[in-house]
Chains A and B, each alone.
Chain A
Amino acid sequence: MTKTEYQHPLMQAYWVQLDTRFAQVEEVFEDVMAEALAVLSREDIHHFLDAARVIGKLGRGVEPMLAFLEEWPSVVKALGEEAVLTDVMAFVMRMQKSPNGKAITPFLQTLAPVARKQHSREQMRHYIEIADDLMARTTGSIHGHHTTFPSPGLPEFFQQAPFLFSQLSMGGVRNWVDYGVRNYRTHPERQTDYFSLQSADARAVLQRERHGTLFADVERKLDLYLRGLWRDPDQLVPYSTAFDELRKPVPYYDRLGMRVPDVFDDFILPLPLAGEGVKISGLDRYRAVLAHMVGHRRWSRPMVADNYSPFQRMAVEFFEDCRVENLLIREYPGLRRIFVALHPKPVEGACDPETTSCLRHRLAMLSRALIDPEHPYGDPQLLDFVRRFHDLLAKGESSSREIADLALHYVARTRLQSDQFAKVWFDDTVIDYRDDNRHLWQYIEDSDDEEFFDDPDKKLKKESEVQSLPPRHYPEWDYHSQTYRPDWVSLYEHLHPKGNPADIDRLLQKHDALAKRLKRILDLLKPQDKVRIRYQEEGSELDLDVAIRSLIDFKGGANPDPRINMSHKTSGRNLAVSLLLDLSESLNEKVAGSEQTILELSQEAVSLLAWAIERLGDPFAIGGFYSNTRHDVRFVHIKGYGEPFNDEVKSRMAAMQAGWSTRMGAALRHAAHYLEARPADKKLLLVLTDGQPADVDSPDERLLIEDARRAVKELDQQGIFTYCINLDPKADEYVSDIFGHRYSVIDNIQRLPERLPELFMALTK
C-alpha cells in the first residue's frame, strides 16, 4: 500500500487496485484515469487496472506500465468496446517467459498507432500473431546454443511497425516479416539490419509488397464517394484478407460501419481476343463494394430466415444482389461496366450435375445474366427467369419480398437431385465485391437486444466549482409549441481556473512554421494606420498630380477626370470577435490517427487564433461552455475583450478542461449579451464545437437544435454574425439547420490549428 490519498473515493479505490509505488505513475495517474474513464466501461476499468498491475510487477521497471497505461485507452477508442486485452496480455506473458522481455515496452508502445491504422480487433490479432511468429522463429536459434538469446529482430520490428502499417496491408507486413525471418534467422546482425529497415533487401521487399491500393490511402476519396454520389456516408473499417485461409473474409456492414478489405489490387481481366485486358483500378473495386452495400441499404429489407431452406436463402441472395445492382446501374449506368468486369463468367456446362451439386454454378450464371445483357448463355430456363426478373423491375423498384418469391420459383423449377451432393461446384461462383448479406436475414429465435445505457458511474463527476456570481436566466425555445419557455435556463459564469502559461507558449512554438505563414497573410489584412485613397470626387485634399492632369485634359478639349481629390481612411476593420468553445465531455476523445485529444488540438488552434487576432488588433473575447441540465449551464471566461493575450490569459487557456453536455442556445445568448455591448460595426461570434447541442435532461434531440437555431436568429437580429466551426463528421445532419450557410465542417481535425485561423481570416477579409 502507498500513502497516496485521492479525494474522490473511486479514484482512491482505483489507485489501490493498481497497487504500485512508482512515482512516475502517480504523476500521471489522474490524467490516465480521466482518459480511461471516458472510454472504458466500469468492468473494463477493472480489467485495465488488473492488467496494468500485472505489467507493473514484471520486474522491468516503470516503463512497461507507463506505456500500457498511456496507450490502452487509445486502443479501446480505436477498436471500440471489443478490444483485445486478453490477446495482448497473453503475448506479453509469452515475451516475459522468453528471453524477449526487453521488447515488452516497445511492443506496448506500438499498440495505439497500429490500432488507429487498423480499426479492428481481428486486425490487431493478426498483428500480434505476426509478432508472436517472429519471436518464436528468431529467439535463441543461433547455431549451437539453446533458447537463451533474445530475438534480435523483434524490438527493431516494433520500432518500425507504425511505419510499416502506413505502407503495407496486413498481408504485406506478414510477408515482409516472413522474408526477414527466412533469410536472416541465424544472422543476428543482418537480422537487425533487416528489421530496422537498414538493409537494401528490407527496402526492396517493402517495395514489392507495396502493391495495390491501400485502404488508408483512399479513405477520403471513399468518404467523398459515399457522400457525393450516394448521400450515404458511414464509418469505414478495413479488414485483412491475408490470414483466414479457409474462409476468406467478405465485405459486410452493421451498426459499426462498412467493412472493406485493407487493400485491393487492380483487377485485370484478360481478353484474349481483343489482345488487351479490361482493367478495374483498386479504387473502383472499393467503389463497387461500397455501391453494392449502399444498394442494399437503400432498397433491401430484412426477411425472416427461419422460413427458408439454405438453398432457398442462397437463391434469394443472388436474386436480391442482382436487383439492387440493377437499381444502382439505373442511377449510374457506368457502374455496369465495373460490375460486369468484376463478376465471374461461369462456363455453361462446366459443372456436371451427375456427380456434383451445381446450384451455385447455375445461380452464378443467372446472376451474370441478370446484370450483363451480353451474357453468352442459352439455357431456356435461365433465359425465362432473366425475362421475368426484368419484367418485375420494369414496373419500378420491385422489393425484397417480390424478388424472393421469384427466387423460390426458380429453386423449385430448376431443382436437381444432385443439388444435395456433398461435392459443390465453386469455380467462378464467388463474387468478391458483394457483401455477405447478413443484413438480409432476421432470425426469430434469438433476440439479443443490446442495451446501451450510460453507466452513471462511468464518468467521473467533476467537483462543483465555486459559483461566484448569481445565475443569469435565459429563455429556451420550445419548437413544439413555437413559444419561449421564459427563464428556463440558469447560467453560471466564472473565470476559468489557471494553469501554466508556458504550455501555451510551447504550443505556439510548435506551430512556428505555420505562424510564419499566417503572418504574411495577416500583414495584408492588417489595417494600415492611414491609407490614402486617390481618385475621389469628394475628398479632404486636392490630389495635385491628378488635378493637373485633369486641367490639361480640360484645356486640350478632352473630358477631364473629375476625381481630383484624395482622402484618408483609417483602420478599415471595426470588428469585435467572440469565440465560444464547446467544452463538453466529447472533447476528451482522441482524434483518429493522432495521439492528441480534440481538446488538445482545440487548445492549439485557439492559441494560434488568439495570437493571430491579437496581431490584427481586433478586440476579442474567448469563452467556453458546458452544461448539466437546464439548471446548471456553465460559462467560463478565458479572455475578455479588454485583456491582451498575456500570460494571465494563456494560463487560463492552458488549464482548459472538458466535461458534461452541450446546451448551446443559452451559451450563444450569453456570449451575445457581451458582444452586443461592444461598440464595433461588425460583430462576429465564432462557435467551435464537436457535436450537436444536447443535454441529459433533453431526450428529444430536436429540442436543443431548434433552440440553438432560434438563438442564431435572435443574434442575427442583434446584428451579430454567427459562424460555426464543426468537428463532427456527422454534422451535416443538423449544422445547417442551426447555422444556415454559416458553417464549416472540419473533416480532418488534425488540421484544426491551421484551419481555424485561416477560416477566421477568410471570414473577415
Chain B
Amino acid sequence: MTDKTQYKVHKEPYYQPQGNEVALYEAAYRNRLPVMVKGPTGCGKSRFIEYMAWKLDKPLITVACNEDMTASDLVGRYLLEANGTRWLDGPLTTAARIGAICYLDEIVEARQDTTVVIHPLTDHRRTLPLDKKGELIEAHPDFQLVISYNPGYQSLMKDLKQSTKQRFTGFDFDYPDAQLETTILAKETGLDAATAGKLVKIGQTARNLKGHGLDEGISTRLLVYAATLIKDGVNPVEACQMALVRPITDDADIRETLDHAIDVTFV
C-alpha cells in the first residue's frame, strides 16, 4: 500500500474563490461525481483543485497529460527485474487504490485511446480493470476523478469526445474580474494593491484584443510573474514587457499598443 500522506496537500494553498465553486465542488465530491474544469490557460484551475484537496483533506495526485502518454502511463506496467518482473501501479491506479483525487491536467493533450481507460472509473461501476495484470480494482470510496481542459485550443482534434465529456460535471473558469484579480496578485506576491491593479488593467487591455490578432489574452499566471518581478525590484515597465507582452505576441502593432498601455499606466 502506498503512503497516503505523501500525496496530501499539507499547507493551505491560497485560493481566491470567484463564485460559489467551493460549495459546488464539495457537493460533487460528497456524491463522488467526476469533475471537469474548463477555462483558459493560467486562470486558476489547478490551484482550485489543489485547494479543494486540502480543504477535503484528501490526497491529490496530479498527472500532466501529453501526446506521448499511453494507457500504461496512467494505469501501470510490468518492470523487468533480474529475477523476474514486477508490477508498478500508474498514478491513476494508485489514486483509485488509496482514495485520492486524481487530477488529469490538460486531458485533451492525451491521445484518445488513452482517454478511454478512465471511462469505467467515471460511471457507477467505479472500477479500473488492469488487463495485463488480470486484476479489477474497485475504487476506494474516497477516490474522485478530475480533468481539466482549455476550450480555447480551438482545435477539434484536441476536443474531447462527447462520450467522455458527458461523464463529468463541469466548472467554467475564466479570468477573475479586476477586483478579484488584483487581490490575487497582491496576496500571492505581496505586491501593493495599487501596482497590482495596474497590472490587471494591462491584462485586460490584452484580453480586449482577443480575436483581433491575439489568440489568448494575458493569463493570471503571467500577471503573477510580472508582480513577482516587480516585487523583486525590477522596473515595472520592463517587468511588464518581459512577463506580459513578449511571451504572448510577435504582432508589431499589438506589441506597440500594449507597450503604450504599459507606458501610460506606470508613470
Residues of A within 8 A of B (CB): 220-221, 223-225, 227-229, 231, 284, 287, 332-338, 536-537, 550, 554, 557, 559-560, 562, 575, 682-684, 717, 719, 721, 723, 731-732, 735, 740-745, 747, 762-765
Contact A228 B206 (CB under 8 A): yes
Contact B265 A332 (CB under 8 A): yes
Chain B nearest CB from A133 CB (Å) reads 37
Chain A nearest CB from B168 CB (Å) reads 15
Chain A nearest CB from B65 CB (Å) reads 18
Tell me if B205 is interfacial: C-beta within 8 Å of chain A: yes
Q: Give Cα distance in the complex from A335 to B265, angstroms.
A: 8
| Residue numbers in A under 8 Å from B78 (CB-CB) | 562
Chain A nearest CB from B86 CB (Å) reads 10
Chain B nearest CB from A617 CB (Å) reads 15
| 13 extra A-B contacts, CB within 8 A, seeds A221-B257, A335-B264 | A224-B209, A227-B209, A228-B258, A332-B261, A336-B267, A550-B80, A682-B159, A717-B162, A723-B156, A745-B211, A747-B212, A763-B155, A764-B155
Contact residues on B (Cβ < 8 Å of other chain), bracket: 35 or more
| Residue numbers in B under 8 Å from A684 (CB-CB) | 156
Residues of B within 8 A of A (CB): 70, 72, 77-82, 151-152, 154-157, 159, 161-162, 205-206, 208-209, 211-213, 253-254, 256-258, 260-261, 263-267
Given contacts A224-B213, A333-B267, contact A562 B77 (CB under 8 A): yes
Chain A nearest CB from B20 CB (Å) reads 22
| Residue numbers in B under 8 Å from A717 (CB-CB) | 162
| Residue numbers in B under 8 Å from A223 (CB-CB) | 212
18 contacts between A and B (CB under 8 A): A224-B254, A227-B209, A227-B212, A228-B208, A229-B205, A229-B264, A336-B267, A338-B264, A559-B79, A562-B79, A562-B80, A682-B156, A682-B157, A723-B154, A731-B211, A741-B154, A742-B154, A762-B155
Name the one of B162, B213, B265 contacting A333, with C-beta atoms under 8 angstroms.
Answer: B265
| Residue numbers in A under 8 Å from B80 (CB-CB) | 550, 554, 559-560, 562
Residue of A nearest to B262 (CB): A334
Given contacts A334-B267, A559-B79, A732-B211, contact A763 B156 (CB under 8 A): yes
Residue of B nearest to A550 (CB): B80
Contact A719 B79 (CB under 8 A): no
Residue of B nearest to A331 (CB): B201
Residue of B nearest to A721 (CB): B156
| Residue numbers in A under 8 Å from B70 (CB-CB) | 536-537
Residue of A nearest to B217 (CB): A228
| Residue numbers in A under 8 Å from B261 (CB-CB) | 228-229, 332
* Residue picked from A225, A228, A332, A741, most chain B C-beta under 10 Å: A228
| Residue numbers in A under 8 Å from B264 (CB-CB) | 229, 332-335, 338
Q: Give Cα distance in the complex from A333 to B213, angstroms.
A: 26
Residue of A nearest to B198 (CB): A333
Chain A nearest CB from B220 CB (Å) reads 17
Residue of A nearest to B112 (CB): A681
| Residue numbers in B under 8 Å from A332 (CB-CB) | 261, 264-265
Residue of B nearest to A536 (CB): B70
Contact B154 A337 (CB under 8 A): no
Name the one of A224, A227, A231, A762 contacting B154, with C-beta atoms under 8 angstroms.
Answer: A762
Given contacts A287-B260, A334-B266, contact A765 B157 (CB under 8 A): yes
Q: Give Cα distance in the complex from A58 to B264, angstroms.
A: 59
Contact A721 B159 (CB under 8 A): yes
Q: Give Cα distance in the complex from A200 to B261, angstroms.
A: 42
| Residue numbers in B under 8 Å from A731 (CB-CB) | 211
Residue of A nearest to B258 (CB): A228
Chain B nearest CB from A38 CB (Å) reads 27
Name the one of B81, B156, B209 contacting A228, with C-beta atoms under 8 angstroms.
Answer: B209
Name the one of A284, A337, A745 contacting B212, with C-beta atoms under 8 angstroms.
Answer: A745
| Residue numbers in A under 8 Å from B152 (CB-CB) | 741
Q: Give Cα distance in the complex from A332 to B263, angstroms.
A: 9
Given contacts A337-B267, A562-B79, contact A224 B253 (CB under 8 A): yes
| Residue numbers in B under 8 Å from A560 (CB-CB) | 80
* Residue picked from B78, B156, B254, B257, most chain A C-beta under 10 Å: B156
Residue of A nearest to B162 (CB): A719
| Residue numbers in B under 8 Å from A743 (CB-CB) | 211
Chain A nearest CB from B6 CB (Å) reads 23
Q: Give Cα distance in the complex from A228 to B259, angstroms.
A: 11
Query: Closest 3 CB pairs between A and B?
Result: A334-B264, A721-B156, A332-B264
Residue of B nearest to A537 (CB): B72
| Residue numbers in A under 8 Å from B82 (CB-CB) | 554, 557
Q: Give Cα distance in the complex from A223 to B260, angstroms.
A: 13
Contact A221 B72 (CB under 8 A): no
| Residue numbers in B under 8 Å from A747 (CB-CB) | 212-213
Contact A221 B256 (CB under 8 A): yes
| Residue numbers in A under 8 Å from B213 (CB-CB) | 224, 747
Q: Give Cα distance in the complex from A332 to B201, angstroms.
A: 9
* Residue picked from B70, B82, B205, B257, most chain A C-beta under 10 Å: B257
| Residue numbers in A under 8 Å from B254 (CB-CB) | 224
Chain A nearest CB from B117 CB (Å) reads 13
Chain A nearest CB from B84 CB (Å) reads 11
Q: Give Cα distance in the complex from A223 to B251, angstroms.
A: 14
Contact A228 B266 (CB under 8 A): no
| Residue numbers in B under 8 Å from A723 (CB-CB) | 154, 156
Contact B208 A231 (CB under 8 A): yes
Q: Give Cα distance in the complex from A684 to B159, angstroms.
A: 11
Contact B257 A225 (CB under 8 A): yes
| Residue numbers in B under 8 Å from A557 (CB-CB) | 82
* Residue picked from A223, A225, A741, A744, most chain B C-beta under 10 Å: A741
Q: Give Cα distance in the complex from A550 to B265, angstroms.
A: 60
Residue of A nearest to B150 (CB): A741
Q: Give Cα distance in the complex from A337 to B257, angstroms.
A: 17
| Residue numbers in B under 8 Å from A550 (CB-CB) | 80
| Residue numbers in B under 8 Å from A228 (CB-CB) | 205-206, 208-209, 257-258, 261
Q: Give Cα distance in the complex from A287 to B260, angstroms.
A: 10
Contact A334 B263 (CB under 8 A): yes
Name the one of A221, A682, A735 contacting B253, with C-beta atoms under 8 angstroms.
Answer: A221
| Residue numbers in A under 8 Å from B81 (CB-CB) | 559
| Residue numbers in B under 8 Å from A721 (CB-CB) | 156, 159
Contact A741 B157 (CB under 8 A): no
Chain B nearest CB from A143 CB (Å) reads 53
Chain B nearest CB from A676 CB (Å) reads 12
Chain A nearest CB from B201 CB (Å) reads 8
Chain A nearest CB from B37 CB (Å) reads 15
| Residue numbers in B under 8 Å from A762 (CB-CB) | 154-155
Chain A nearest CB from B66 CB (Å) reads 14
Chain B nearest CB from A224 CB (Å) reads 4
* Residue picked from A224, A335, A537, A550, most chain B C-beta under 10 Å: A224
| Residue numbers in A under 8 Å from B154 (CB-CB) | 723, 741-742, 762-763
Chain A nearest CB from B202 CB (Å) reads 10
Contact B209 A537 (CB under 8 A): no
Q: Give Cα distance in the complex from A221 to B261, angstroms.
A: 12
Chain B nearest CB from A623 CB (Å) reads 19
| Residue numbers in A under 8 Å from B157 (CB-CB) | 575, 682, 763-765
Chain B nearest CB from A334 CB (Å) reads 3
Given contacts A740-B151, A763-B154, contact A229 B72 (CB under 8 A): no
| Residue numbers in B under 8 Å from A741 (CB-CB) | 151-152, 154
| Residue numbers in A under 8 Å from B209 (CB-CB) | 224, 227-228
Given contacts A333-B267, A741-B151, contact A224 B212 (CB under 8 A): yes
Q: Give Cα distance in the complex from A743 to B152, angstroms.
A: 10
Chain A nearest CB from B98 CB (Å) reads 24
Residue of A nearest to B159 (CB): A721
| Residue numbers in B under 8 Å from A221 (CB-CB) | 253, 256-257
